[in-house]
Amino acid sequence: MMSEPMIVSDPKVMMGKPVVAGTRITVDLILEKLGSGESIEALLESHPRLTREGVLAALRFAARALRADVVYPISTKTA
């Protein structure tokens, strides 16, 4: 395991949103792109500073965040 965190948050970078360390690529951007069907390979191609490890770290971070004791409102309306 790496000693440096792969996902960081700094108020001076992307308004404090969690990003992959050393980039301005937010966790929510990675989730949005993967959720819309983009492959990890395509994501890496369009963001050269991003690594496969960074993408996987973003997914782990999101999974941990969703395990928190928070209720998320889910709309039953279709988009």
In order of start, what are the domains of the chain with their CATH numbers?
7-66 (1.10.10.10)
Those residues of the chain that have pLDDT short of 50 are 1-2
The residues with which 8 forms a beta bridge, in sequence order, are 19
Question: What is residue 76's predicted lDDT score, i.e. its pLDDT?
Answer: 72
**Is residue 13 classed as helix, strand or coil in its secondary structure?**
coil
**Is residue 71 classed as helix, strand or coil in its secondary structure?**
coil
Distance (Å, whole) CA 36 – CA 2: 30
Residue with tokens 């929510």: 28
pTM comes to 0.81
